[in-house]
Structure 1
Amino acid sequence: MPSDAGEALTLALADACHEPIAATQPYGEDDGVMRMIVTDHAFAVLLVGEAFKTITVLQVTYLP
């Protein structure tokens, strides 16, 4: 992944660490658990764990 695309994804993931629901979009049904981040050149699927305050990155796709 080019550095500019990686940097945008990194910043979006950092925002998601602080405010997971506000900084992401629902992935499928809005259950507050499966979320996604979409930037100009990347897409990431996240699993948000409210109980332990965790975010697990399940998939990252580079969009050229």
Structure 2
Amino acid sequence: MYVLKCDAIRQAIWDSLPQPVSERLTLALAEACADPLDATVPYGEDDGIMRTLILPDTLVVIYLGHQTKTLHIYGIEYAG
């Protein structure tokens, strides 16, 4: 299990999403924390560290800290 890390800027973006979108993102990130490589796809070249979580209206770029078992939100894009 990975621990989710999110800085204040990304948290503000997440908080600004419409409620249904925010809920879907919360559930998807919970799945990614349980199994990040299965719940995401590579971001560019598959290095196993930079990953993308793709939802119907949201794209989240994450950084996996395998040594520390952390999942860092690197960017959130909402197309709504």
TM-score above 0.5: yes
Identity %: 42
Query: Aligned Cα RMSD in Å?
Result: 0.6
Tell whether the 8 Å contact from 1:5 to 1:40 is kept in structure 2 after alignment. Answer: no
After TM superposition, where is structure 1 displaced by more than 3 Å over at least 4 residues in a row? none
Aligned length: 64
User: Which ranges of structure 1 fall in alignment gaps of 5 or more residues?
Assistant: none
Say which of 37, 54, 63 aligns to 1:38. 54
TM-score by length of 1: 0.95
Cα shift at 1:41? 1.3
Q: Amino acid of the residue matched to residue 31 of structure 1?
A: D
The answer to which structure has the higher helix fraction is 2
Higher relative contact order (CA 8 A, sep 6+): 2
CA distance in 2, matches of 1:8, 1:20: 16
CA distance in 2, matches of 1:24, 1:60: 14
TM-score by length of 2: 0.77
